[in-house]
Structures are given as C-alpha cells and as structure tokens.
Chain A
Amino acid sequence: MKTVWVVGDSMISPLGETTAANYQNVRAGKSGITKVELTELPFYASTIANLQATTTNTRFENLVLQAAQPIVIQTTLPPDKTLFILSTTKGNIELLKSEPIIGLHPRLALHAAASHVAQQLGLKNSLVVSNACISGVLALITAKRLLQNGEYDHALVVGADVLSPFIVSGFQCLQAMSSEPCKPFDKDRSGINLGEGAAALLLTTTPESFPTSHKIKLTGFGLSNDANHISGPSRTGEELASAIAQAFTQAKLTTEQIDVISGHGTATLFNDEMEAKALTLAGLNQTPLTGLKGYFGHTLGAAGVIETIMAMQGMLQNETVDTKGYTAHGVSVPLNITQGVKSQSQKRILKTASGFGGCNAALILEQE
C-alpha cells in the first residue's frame, strides 16, 4: 500500500491568515472568541470580520478559496491526478431564505459549491465529505483511501464552515452554546462556542514532487458509530475507544508510542466526559491531551483539519500548547491535559473527533 504524505498546509481563522500566524497566536494564548451581538441573544463565537461575499463567491466560498489558494499557487497540481475534497457541514446555508423549493439557489447543494470553488483553483475533480463534526478527519481518511487506490496522486483537502443565523439559531435552540468563552474538560464548562475557519492540507503519494522541510505521513485511522443517540454521545466511550484501537492496529503502534493527542473537546458536559472515558479505555489517559476549541471555537467541518494542522505544528516545534479555558479538572477520570507551552519531543500524534449521528474518528500522523 502506498504511503500518503502531508506536503502542504494553510489555514484562516480570526487568529491569522497563515498556519504560522495561527500557531504563533495559539502559542501566545490569544483566542479568536469574542462576544457577538448580531442577534437578540448575544453569544460568544470566533468570527472572521473581514470575510465578505463578492459578486462571484459567497462568504463561505471565499473562505475556502483563501485557505486553498496559497497551496495551489506554490505547487503544480495536475488536474487529472488531483482530487479536491471539501469538508463542510453546512456550506452555503446562508443562501437559504425560506423560499419555496423552486427558488433554491443552486449552490446550496454542497457539491455545486465544491465544484464552483474547484474550478477557480484549476481543479476538475471534487468530492464533498459531510459527516457532522468528524467531517474534517473523515475527509483526510477518505483522501488517504482514494490516493491509495491509485486513481489520484494528490488530494487537496479543505475543511470550512462559516457562521450563519441558521447555525446560530440551531445551536441556541439546542441550548448547547456557552454564555462565556468555552472551557474544554473544565469543571465549569457550559457548552460550545461556534467558530469560523478554513484549513487546507495537501496530501500526496509522490512527495518527491513537493519539496518540504518535514516528512509527515498519515498512518493508522479508525471510524465507528455509537448506535446510541443522534445528538448525544455514547455513555461509555467504548465506540470512540474502538476507533482509536483500530487506528493503533493499522499503524502497528502501541499506546505508549503516541506523544500527544489533539482531542475534540467541545466543552459540552457530555462530549468531554465521553472522550475522557474513551481515552481511558484506550489506555491513553496519561498521554498529553490538547483541546483547541478555546482558541478557534467549534469550526464544525473545518475543525478536524484546523486541529490537525495545529497538532502538526506542535510536532514540528516539539512542544505542546495550552488547552485554553481549562483550569480545574472537570471530567470523571484523570487526564493529562496540556497547560501552558511546554517543550516535548514528538514523533507521533493522534487526532480524534466525534459528532452528531453518533460518529467517531481517529487518525494518527507520524513524522520520519
């Protein structure tokens, strides 16, 4: 089976328009989360102020383009051998205005938005992964699988979601939104903050065509379903633990060989508890665990890609960053949650995610 390498990355959030700027701001403890008073009910979210719609593109499409363009400009991607994978939950949902179906905007269809953007990037093959909050991690897994099947040599994976009244009113009516900046794994955590962002990773089976200063590959992965509840996580964490175990088996690694975990850490009561139980079942409760939602909020379809890129930065710099918002331990089992910026040599990282519909994903990245 061919090895799949990461040879490019780029990301946009309120914390910056490059990977380096975002990582520097995370390192410095800055957060993109602010109080937003657009609706009757003010809420905390991480929003990109200078992101606008243009005549050709929606805000969402411009965000996807801004994340992807730096990679496309720096590389030569043959259109026949490159797959563009868009990870998003709601895409252009802001175009929905309670119209009758006949009047629907054509680019409300996620695949239409993806091909509209792909065309502007000079790419012709596109695919959308839309699997709730595991979309980003699943998009990377999908890229790996399709590259290994040999149909494509390169995959440009972009995860993106923007805030819209649709999403905000949805999470508000679920009472899932915190009335303060979120606190992953903390005893006072009270829900999520939504976030806007986009991140792009370039994956390839021919790394010699893309000179990079690092050698990072996607190795093991696992996926599972809780078969329990569509909007609440597993009570035991067994299913996320099973996805993690499959990732280890596939990568032929043992738990001690993982240096850092980038968790999902949404800061809801139930998600963080489930994750804590799952990591314990997987034998990883001593391994440093970072949650990044305190910097970026929950960026939905972008989260898996953004958090993977930040974890890769940590691996390249050999350090762990602070789990912003976490001060007092608030889950029922002990975990080794990262606090402050600390140096730690790293060769292998684990990214996990879980989402509505009971889905779980785990992915291991290794540096040679």
Chain B
Amino acid sequence: MTITSYCIIRNQQVLTPNETLSLTQPSFDDFLTALYDRLQPNYPRFYKMDNQSKLGFLAAEILLKEYSIQSYKPETVSVVLSNANASLDTDIRFEASTQTVASPSLFVYTLANIVMGEICIRHSIKGENAFFVAPEFNARLMTSYSHQVLNQNKTEVCLAGWVDVLGGQHNVFLYLVENRERGLALPHTATELEKLYRQ
C-alpha cells in the first residue's frame, strides 16, 4: 500500500511531483476558469459546479491524467475527502439567493460531499465515499481511515485528501493510495503525508 502521486492547488499555484504551475489571475473564479482552459477537459458540466466542486474536479483531472485509474473496476476505486469549511462557501451564496428567489442549482451544492459526487461522475468511480470535517488536514485520521478502506471490501485504489474553499481562500491536497506500486511509491504513513502536505 503506497502513496503513488499527488496534486496540490493553493495560492493559484498547482504543484505535482513533476511540475509547478502558476496561473495568477485577478480572482479565484478567474483562476478556476484559466486552469480549466489550460487542461481542456471538454466537460461543460464544469460550468454548473460550485467553486469547491470545480476545485476538486480540476485537481482530480490533473492527478488522474498522469496516473490513470481506468484499469481499475469502478467499484474498486474509493474516495475519502476532508476539509474545514464543509460547503460554507456555497451556503453563503445560497443564503443570499433566498433573499430573492432561492436557487435550487445552488442548494444541491450545499453539502460537503457533493465534490466527491462530481469526481465520481466524471471518472466513473463507484467505490466507497467518506467526507470528514476537521479544523485542519489530519494526516493521522486520513491514513488510519484509508488504510481500513484499502484493507476491507473491494477497494484497490483510494483517492484521498483535502478540498477546502472559502471566498478566495483555497487549499487542495489530493493524493492516490494504491495496493500496487507505481509513481512515487512512498510508504502510506502519516509522516509521509504530512511531509507532502506541508511542502
């Protein structure tokens, strides 16, 4: 069981084991669009998403482009995510909409786990889902829980990490843990995860 790759997005900068990409834009919304345009996933559904789903979607695009999970059966891929602010960024927007006409298209994004749903739809992932809310990225919890996910039931690969958005603040750390060895092949321990997250 090893960590095979990762993708970090913070301060309008993308960081993977192979590259660092800065796409500085006047606003976070502009940054999301600029990154989408650069990746060209040709996925119009992106424009319907809230910012948290957009951010998680883009990080997953980058991570899974290089480390494809297509050889895995859909039910053997699991997703374990966490953040500090649940869906608060969109909660605020939905609450504002209720002052005039409450928006159903915003309301469906007012749950923390919807970003996982979007990633699952995009990559045909049908394995386990779990979403935790914690004050900060908790490497110990993530290793402990993902370890069990990979040891029980059908999971062969776990897409895990942190996807947090509030206003212009954004912080993503997505990584892959697999039962087979490829890529970074780092030991799946809290210390290694913490090191990757803190870089």
Q: State the CA gap A321–B96 with chains docked (Å).
A: 42
Report the 3 A-B pairs with minimum CB-CB distance, sorted nearest first: A357-B117, A128-B133, A173-B102
Instruction: Determine the chain A residues whose CB is within 8 A of the CB of B94 once the complex forms.
Output: 166, 170
Q: State the CA gap A270–B16 with chains docked (Å).
A: 41
Tell which of A19-27, A192-200, A224-232, A323-331 binds the partner. Answer: A224-232
Tell me whether B185 is interfacial, beta carbon within 8 Å. Answer: no
Given the known interface contacts A98-B95, A225-B126, the answer about A132 and B135 at a Cβ–Cβ threshold of 8 Å is no
Instruction: Determine the chain B residues whose CB is within 8 A of the CB of A228 once the complex forms.
Output: 121
Instruction: Determine the chain A residues whose CB is within 8 A of the CB of B131 once the complex forms.
Output: 129-131
Tell me whether B5 is interfacial, beta carbon within 8 Å. Answer: no
Tell me whether B147 is interfacial, beta carbon within 8 Å. Answer: yes
**Tally of chain B residues near chain A (CB < 8 A):** 56
Given the known interface contacts A93-B91, A96-B92, A132-B113, the answer about A142 and B145 at a Cβ–Cβ threshold of 8 Å is yes
B99 touches which one: A98, A148, A229, A356 (CB < 8 A)? A98
What distance in Å separates the Cβ of A147 from its nearest Cβ neighbour in chain B?
A: 10
What distance in Å separates the Cβ of A64 from its nearest Cβ neighbour in chain B?
A: 14
Q: State the CA gap A356–B130 with chains docked (Å).
A: 13
Tell me whether B41 is interfacial, beta carbon within 8 Å. Answer: no
B121 touches which one: A109, A115, A227 (CB < 8 A)? A227
Instruction: Determine the chain B residues whose CB is within 8 A of the CB of A93 once the complex forms.
Output: 91
A230 touches B121 (CB 8 A): yes
B114 touches A230 (CB 8 A): yes
Tell me whether B166 is interfacial, beta carbon within 8 Å. Answer: yes
Interface residues of A (CB under 8 A from B): 89-91, 93, 96-98, 101, 104, 108-112, 114-115, 127-132, 134, 138, 142, 145-146, 148-149, 151, 165-166, 169-175, 222-231, 239, 242, 246, 249-250, 355-359
Tell which of B22-30, B61-69, B148-156 binds the partner. Answer: B148-156
What distance in Å separates the Cβ of B77 from its nearest Cβ neighbour in chain A?
A: 9
Q: State the CA gap A250–B110 with chains docked (Å).
A: 33
A246 touches B154 (CB 8 A): yes
Tell me whether B39 is interfacial, beta carbon within 8 Å. Answer: no
Closest A residue to B108 by CB, please name it.
Answer: A231
A225 touches B102 (CB 8 A): no
Q: State the CA gap A319–B149 with chains docked (Å).
A: 34
Instruction: Determine the chain B residues whose CB is within 8 A of the CB of A142 once the complex forms.
Output: 130, 132, 145
The interface bits of chain B over 106-125 (1 if a CB of A lies within 8 angstroms of the residue's CB, else 0) are: 01111111101110110111
What distance in Å separates the Cβ of A178 from its nearest Cβ neighbour in chain B?
A: 17
Q: State the CA gap A151–B145 with chains docked (Å).
A: 11
Tell me whether B3 is interfacial, beta carbon within 8 Å. Answer: no
Instruction: Determine the chain A residues whose CB is within 8 A of the CB of B92 once the complex forms.
Output: 96, 98, 101
Closest A residue to B153 by CB, please name it.
Answer: A246
Instruction: Determine the chain A residues whose CB is within 8 A of the CB of B98 once the complex forms.
Output: 165-166, 169
What distance in Å separates the Cβ of B99 from its nearest Cβ neighbour in chain A?
A: 7
A242 touches B126 (CB 8 A): yes
25 A-B pairs (CB sep. < 8 Å): A89-B111, A108-B88, A109-B88, A111-B133, A115-B135, A127-B132, A128-B132, A130-B111, A131-B112, A132-B111, A142-B145, A166-B91, A166-B110, A170-B94, A170-B107, A173-B103, A225-B126, A227-B121, A246-B154, A250-B152, A357-B120, A358-B117, A359-B113, A359-B117, A359-B129
Closest B residue to A145 by CB, please name it.
Answer: B148
A173 touches B121 (CB 8 A): no
B91 touches A356 (CB 8 A): no
- Chain A contact residues, majority secondary structure: mixed
Interface residues of B (CB under 8 A from A): 74-75, 78-79, 84-86, 88, 91-92, 94-96, 98-99, 101-104, 107-114, 116-118, 120-121, 123-135, 141, 144-145, 147-149, 152-154, 166-167
A146 touches B121 (CB 8 A): no
- Chain B contact residues, majority secondary structure: mixed
B104 touches A130 (CB 8 A): no
Given the known interface contacts A173-B103, A357-B111, the answer about A145 and B145 at a Cβ–Cβ threshold of 8 Å is yes
What distance in Å separates the Cβ of B164 from its nearest Cβ neighbour in chain A?
A: 11
Instruction: Determine the chain B residues whose CB is within 8 A of the CB of A173 once the complex forms.
Output: 101-104, 107
B133 touches A110 (CB 8 A): yes
What distance in Å separates the Cβ of A229 from its nearest Cβ neighbour in chain B?
A: 7
Instruction: Determine the chain B residues whose CB is within 8 A of the CB of A355 once the complex forms.
Output: 111, 113
Instruction: Determine the chain A residues whose CB is within 8 A of the CB of B88 once the complex forms.
Output: 96, 104, 108-109
A96 touches B121 (CB 8 A): no
Most chain A CB atoms below 10 A, which of B99, B131, B144? B131
B117 touches A230 (CB 8 A): yes
Instruction: Determine the chain A residues whose CB is within 8 A of the CB of B153 once the complex forms.
Output: 222-223, 246, 249-250
Instruction: Determine the chain B residues whose CB is within 8 A of the CB of A131 once the complex forms.
Output: 112-113, 129-131
Given the known interface contacts A128-B134, A170-B94, A173-B107, the answer about A225 and B79 at a Cβ–Cβ threshold of 8 Å is yes
A111 touches which one: B84, B130, B148, B167 (CB < 8 A)? B84
What distance in Å separates the Cβ of B42 from its nearest Cβ neighbour in chain A?
A: 19
Instruction: Determine the chain A residues whose CB is within 8 A of the CB of B130 once the complex forms.
Output: 129, 131, 138, 142, 223
B147 touches which one: A130, A149, A174 (CB < 8 A)? A149
B91 touches A96 (CB 8 A): yes
What distance in Å separates the Cβ of A303 from its nearest Cβ neighbour in chain B?
A: 14
A127 touches B144 (CB 8 A): no
Given the known interface contacts A96-B95, A148-B148, the answer about A224 and B117 at a Cβ–Cβ threshold of 8 Å is no
